[in-house]
Chains A and B, each alone.
Chain A
Amino acid sequence: MKLLTPDLGLFVWMLVAFSVVLVILAKFAWKPIVGALKERETGIADSLAQAEKVKAEMAQLQSDNEALLQKAQEERAQLLKEARDARDKMINEAKEQAKIEANKIIAEAQAAIQHQKNAAMTDVKNQVGNLVIEVATKVLGRELTNAGEQERFIQDLTKDIKLN
């Protein structure tokens, strides 16, 4: 069968041709093509990974922002509360102080009144004493003639003396 008997010439040419084709294609065709395809694929994969990363970063940033906002709000609330407390405290303190002060003033006033009252009483007592002495002097000086008249005189005198 001529179909199955290999032909030497064709064999030699074929071997040479395929070897040359293999070398040429490997060097000048497959290397750049396969290299470019790989480069492109890694480029795309990198870009996708980058995008994913950026997305994750954005999400992180957003959650950070939210946390920050939350914290700020909490802080504001805290500050407000503190301020309110401080104000209340100050008012209370002031009230307390005022009360104490007032009490003190009242006590002092009362003490002063008492003191003046005492002084006045002393004064009155002194003046009563003096008057008594004066009246007695006057009585003694007029030489009491009758008992009736003496009595009326004493009455008059005491009428004048009024303990305020």
Chain B
Amino acid sequence: MIFNRVKCLSVAVFSLLLMLFSNVAFANDEHAGEEKPKVFDANKVIFGHVLDAHEFHFFDYTDSEGHLHPVTIPLPVILYSKERGWDVFMSSKLEHGHAVYNGYKIDDEKIYAVNEAGAIDESVKVYDLSITRNVAQMLLAIIVLVSILISAANKYKKGIGRTTAPKGFQNALETVILFIRDEVAKPNLGSKYERYLPFLLSVFFFILINNIFGMIPGAANVSGNIVFTAVLGIISMLVINFSGNKHYWGHIFNPPVPGGVKAILVPVEILSIFTKPFSLIVRLFANILAGHIIIICLISLIFIFGNFGSAAGFGFAPVSIAFTIFIYMIEILVAFIQAYIFTNLTAVFLGGAIEEHHHHEDEHAHH
């Protein structure tokens, strides 16, 4: 109960903070570019929030001389090109596109090689392996996740939870682990569940921790990035297909249907190898991205109204914040649900691939 209230409160506070930060940024922007009529650009804010970036950008402020200073945490930029080899430097060196460093410049979060004259050199193909904010946040999430789980594992090794009752956070963790084992792995994978349980658990917790980290205001949208979901989807696809037994492949290349239908069904079955993980990729990506966009949109609404006058902006703020809190709660739920759905569907597809004595009807009943 208290925990819920604290969570509620923290969400509200974070939302307010986010609003304040944005407020500062936009207010200062107005002063900075006085020659152009300044209106709130929701599109830029929204995409600036959900897309990847080379730095953690919090807000901008303008000094007394009217210079705009973005407040950011710079991150390392790692570049490789055949012509120039490796280059590693902090993203602050590029000054948000205002400066050229080491023959590189950044424009709209893409890094280009530039020649002596300062023009973009198209002949140099730059591979950008930077620790972007998504990568940085993911690494942070991994460190947190691994330390939590290993400390729990050490407790079990010591015998707490093994011969005695589990304590504290172990209980929460155990509930989730047992849920994945008993409700996801066992029903779908049958007797062979133990082999795939570590994979399923890792996928679940990895998605969950990144979903939760993404919920922190100002944090990057890691699990709502197509690359994040794509990597997990591809790994799931590899696991499913490498585990696939004779029956699974037989079902794909020689489905139990008459010859004429076979010609239609075989391509469909082959396509299904890819569509299954694709559905996983898009589902997770779209759900998390949508949640982030809705929240940033609701906050942006305040400033869109603010464009009509500060009274409208302040007047709409309580409505917007109420909606934001509501959606925020739903997004916390979605963070768990999507992690579960990804894991469960992976288990379902895996179950279909490793099932031994399945009949045609059974397979459909299972799916």
Give the B-binding residues of A (Cβ under 8 A).
2-15, 17-19, 21-22, 24-26, 28-37, 39-40, 43
Contacts and interface: CB of A to CB of B under 8 A. Distances in A.
Given A25-B201, A26-B202, A33 B177 contact: yes
Contact of A26 (B139, B199, B232, B235): B199
Contacts of B235: 18-19
A76 to B, nearest CB: 52
Given A18-B206, A18-B232, A37 B177 contact: yes
Nearest to A41: B178
Interface stretch (B61-69, B148-156, B252-260): B148-156
B227 A14 contact: yes
A2 B51 contact: yes
B177 A7 contact: no
B231 A18 contact: yes
Interface of B: 47, 50-52, 78, 127-132, 134-135, 138-139, 142, 145-146, 149-150, 152-154, 156-157, 161-163, 173-174, 177-178, 181, 194, 197-199, 201-202, 205-206, 225-228, 230-232, 235, 289
Given A10-B52, A32-B156, A25 B146 contact: yes
A13 B153 CA distance: 26
Given A3-B51, A9-B128, A36-B162, 8 more contacts: A9-B78, A18-B232, A26-B198, A26-B202, A29-B146, A30-B153, A31-B198, A32-B153
Contacts of A17: 135, 138-139, 142
B130 A9 contact: yes
A9 B129 contact: yes
Given A9-B130, A11-B230, A40 B163 contact: yes
B51 to A, nearest CB: 6
A30 B232 contact: no
Interface SS of A by simple majority: helix
Contacts of B227: 6-7, 10-11, 14
B201 A30 contact: yes
Contacts of A26: 198-199, 202
A158 to B, nearest CB: 133
Contacts of A25: 145-146, 149, 198, 201-202, 205
B150 A30 contact: no
A7 B106 CA distance: 15
Contacts of A35: 156
A22 B202 contact: yes
A12 B206 CA distance: 17
27 contacts: A4-B226, A7-B128, A9-B128, A9-B129, A9-B130, A11-B230, A12-B129, A14-B227, A14-B228, A15-B231, A17-B139, A25-B205, A30-B153, A31-B153, A32-B154, A32-B156, A32-B157, A33-B149, A33-B153, A34-B177, A34-B194, A34-B197, A35-B156, A36-B161, A39-B162, A40-B161, A40-B163
Contacts of B181: 34, 37
B155 to A, nearest CB: 9
A6 B135 contact: no
A36 B139 CA distance: 28
